[in-house]
Structure 1
């Protein structure tokens, strides 16, 4: 998992035609990505491009798991906050899908 300290990252996904499409940009300190490693065993589904000047903090999975074993309250707080962010992202994606469908009818 990565935490954005400063700068900007772009999250992209390969479309059916092979072109890369931008899903979102993260630019606020504290934005994070790579969190799906905690909940999904499938390979990564997106590509992240970081601005060369961006500064990121990496949290290796095994180090986080070890830390969480000893710090249950912190673990719960982080997971709860991550869940809130994931819910917000899912809502935004659902709105985009609904807008796309309604624009095609």
Structure 2
């Protein structure tokens, strides 16, 4: 067992509706990693193979501008989840994520989740529904931003 408590997962939208036993399965395959300030967590264009939960610290989400510079898209605080779209999207990562400060992250690799999904289809369905809801919300927010820019 990894020693990661299920509480880290309980209030995250991507895990809503999962029973404690299902969260325990995820906690058992999760790993904790410490990133130093400015350390690269994942790079734009790389294959997405895991999701991350920021336990402590914060990260910057950066997007290449095509001229060798990176633009800051967002700063995610502790408690945030990123990389969850790699569970449903085989496309390369759309942004670079770098630790803004010393950051502790919980990492759940897609391969480990796939093993769980083989034994627990309900867990797979709940996660996919939650990711669909997250995507829908993000799309609505993007549409609203575009409307406000064009108004």
User: TM range, normalised to the smaller chain?
Assistant: 0.7 to 0.9
Aligned residues: CA RMSD: 2.0
Unaligned runs of 5+ in 2: 1-50
Candidates 119, 122, 129, aligned match of 1:70: 119
Alignment of structure 1 residues 65-104 onto 2, 5 Å: 65-102=114-151
TM-score (norm 1): 0.78
Give the alignment partner of residue 103 of structure 2, picking from 15, 30, 54.
54
- Unpaired segments ≥5 residues, structure 1: none
Alignment of 1:19-58 (within 5 A): 19-29=69-79, 31-58=80-107
The match for 1:15 among 65, 69, 76 is 65
TM-score normalised by L of structure 2: 0.57
Structure 2 distance, partners of 1:21, 1:100, is 19
| CA separation of 1:57 and 1:75: change in aligned 2, threshold 3 A | same
> Which protein is richer in helix relative to its size?
1
| Displacement of 1:75 | 2.0
Structure 2 CA distance for aligned equivalents of residues 65 and 51 of structure 1: 30
The count of residues paired between Structure 1 and Structure 2 equals 101
Contact 2:55 2:106 in 1 (8 A): yes
Are residues 71 and 33 of structure 1, via their aligned partners in 2, closer, same or farther at CA, if it must alter by over 3 Å? same
Distance 1:94 1:18 in 2: 28
Runs of 4+ in 1 over 3 A off after TM superposition: none
